[in-house]
Structure 1
Amino acid sequence: MERGSFVLGHQLTSDQLNARILNYPTIAVPERKMTLNTSPVGIDRAILFDDGAYNNRDIQLIIGFEGKQADSNIQKFLSVLDTGKYIDFQMYSDPDYTYQVIRQSTGTIARPNYSDGYRELTIMLSAAPYRYVAPAQTETITTLISTLVNPTNYVAKPYIKIVGSGSITLTINGTDYRFSNVTGSIELDSAMQNVWHTNGKIIVNENAKMAIGPFPTLKPGNNNINLSAGTVTIEPRWRTL
């Protein structure tokens, strides 16, 4: 990526907006979710309760918009952010990763005295703690045993689509994930912990067709995968802090 460039939501680029990031983005390291209990008497350190997760991180940006459409392009940028859900964001400063961002804070729009056709937007974005390896990888696996290699030090929560019918078992690292009465295909998102089937444009909840238990994850290093019938497409969503 060129210096200052970015892609927002896989649909809006810095070139389309005639914009560039002016600063080297300041990105906070996410805070671990922990609680320290200092009340017990006679113990020489606090008792630690670890939630096993992280808080969101902040990304501070200054973006310059050039040309007669500067004001309009700022509104386009903000409208993509303001959808009530996380939006993918890639920056020149970290081109091998995608961040998932939302806007919670206010921003400021400044116009230097020397130019009518230039604006600067200063804004703070809130990003989900993990950043995802880009471009996203997708693997299609048949009933043969295959191996996916997680290149990061963190457990991944994949998106999975199984194409087939009837009773199907997906085995990952020796753990069986069983699906019953599959009709053509079934999809699941381990991050959202949801199972569904797409019928045309209609999404049908299929949580009842997956045996009760944890959703699949992919550990760092080698992950052995087998499918009892049909084919499975996996978007691993490799991630790191």
Structure 2
Amino acid sequence: MERGSFVLGHQLTSDQLDARILNYPTITVPERKHTLNTTPVGIDRAILFDDGAYNNRDIQLIIGFEGKQSNSNIQKFLSALDTGKYIDFQMYSDPDYTYQVIRQSTGTIARPTYSDSYRELTITLSSAPYRYVEPAQTATITTNQSTLVNPTKYLAKPYIRIVGDGAITLTVNGVDYKFTNVTGSIELDSAMQNVWRINGGVMVNENAKMAIGPFPTLKPDNNTVKVSTGTATIEPRWRTL
């Protein structure tokens, strides 16, 4: 990516907005979630409970918008962020990763006295703690065992689509995930803990067709995957801090 460039939501680019990131983005390291119990008597430290998760991180940006459409393009940028859900965001400063961002803070829009057609937006975005490896490689899985290599040191929570009918077992690292009465296809998102299928463009809840238990995850290094019948496509969502 060129210096100062960015992509928001895989669609809106800095070139389309005549915009560039002016600073080297300041990105905080996410805080680990811990709970400390300080009530026990007779011990020399608080009892630590690790929640196994992280708080969001902040990304501080200064973005310059050029041209007569600068005000309009700022509004396009803000509108793309204000959807009520996380939006993918890639920056020139970290081109091999995608951040998932939302806007929670206010921003400031400044106009230098020397230009009527230039604006600078200073804003802090809230980002989900993990950043995701880009580009995301999708793997096709069959009844023959395949190996997926997680290049990071963190557990991945994949999106999986299985095509087939009837009873299907997805095996990940020797653990069986069983599905019953599959009709054409079934999809699952380990991050969202949800199972569904698409029927005529409509999402149909299929959680009852997956045996109760944890959703599949992909550990660091090698992961073995296969299906008992049909095929599966896996978007592994490799992630790191």
- TM-score, length of structure 1 as denominator length: 0.99
1:219, CA displacement in angstroms? Answer: 0.3
SS in 1 for 2:79: helix
Q: Partners of 1:225 and 1:139 in 2: how far apart?
A: 10
Q: Partners of 1:107 and 1:76 in 2: how far apart?
A: 14
Q: Partners of 2:23 and 2:37 in 1: how far apart?
A: 40
Q: Partners of 1:202 and 1:46 in 2: how far apart?
A: 51
Gapped runs of 5+ residues in structure 1? none
% identical equivalent positions: 85
Q: Partners of 2:161 and 2:42 in 1: how far apart?
A: 54
Deviations 1:119-155 (A, max 9, x none): 0000000000000000111001111000000000000
SS in 1 for 2:211: coil
Gapped runs of 5+ residues in structure 2? none
Root mean square deviation, CA, Å: 0.5
Aligned residue number for residue 8 of structure 1 = 8
Q: Partners of 1:70 and 1:200 in 2: how far apart?
A: 41
Q: Partners of 1:101 and 1:3 in 2: how far apart?
A: 20
SS in 2 for 1:15: coil
Q: Partners of 2:18 and 2:136 in 1: how far apart?
A: 26
Q: Partners of 1:189 and 1:139 in 2: how far apart?
A: 15
Q: Quick check: 1:84 aligned with 2:84?
A: yes
Q: Partners of 1:35 and 1:167 in 2: how far apart?
A: 42
Q: Partners of 1:222 and 1:72 in 2: how far apart?
A: 48
Q: Partners of 2:10 and 2:178 in 1: how far apart?
A: 34
Q: Quick check: 1:128 aligned with 2:128?
A: yes
Q: Quick check: 1:73 aligned with 2:73?
A: yes
Q: Partners of 2:137 and 2:237 in 1: how far apart?
A: 7
Aligned ranges 1:41-56 → 2 under 5 Å: 41-56=41-56
AA of the residue aligned to 2:132? Y
How many pairs align?
241
Aligned residue number for residue 153 of structure 1 = 153
